[in-house]
Chains A and B, each alone.
Chain A
Amino acid sequence: EVQLLESGGGLVQPGGSLRFSCEASGFTFSGYAMSWVRQAPGKGLEWVSSISARGGSTYYADSVKGRFTISRDNSKNTLYLQMNSLRAEDTAVYYCAKEARGGITIFGVVSMGNYYYYGMDVWGQGTTVTVSS
Chain B
Amino acid sequence: EIVLTQSPATLSLSPGERATLSCRASQSVSSYLAWYQQKPGQPPRLLIYDTSNRATGIPARFSGSGSGTDFTLTISSLEPEDFAVYYCQQRSNWPLTFGGGTKVEIK
Contacts and interface: CB of A to CB of B under 8 A. Distances in A.
Contacts of B30: 108-109
Interface residues of B, number: 27
Interface of A: 35, 37, 44-47, 50, 59-62, 95, 97, 100, 108-110, 117-121, 123-126
A121 B98 contact: no
A119 B45 CA distance: 10
A123 B49 contact: no
- Among B44, B93, B96, B101: residue with most chain A CB under 10 A: B96
A126 B43 CA distance: 7
Contacts of B50: 118
17 contacts: A44-B87, A44-B98, A45-B36, A45-B87, A45-B89, A45-B98, A45-B101, A47-B95, A59-B95, A108-B30, A108-B32, A110-B91, A118-B32, A118-B91, A119-B36, A119-B91, A121-B55
B94 A119 contact: no
Q: Which 8 A-B pairs have the closest CB atoms?
A: A123-B43, A119-B34, A47-B96, A119-B49, A118-B49, A45-B98, A109-B32, A44-B101
A118 B34 contact: yes
Interface of B: 1, 30, 32, 34, 36, 38, 43-46, 49-50, 55-56, 87, 89, 91-101
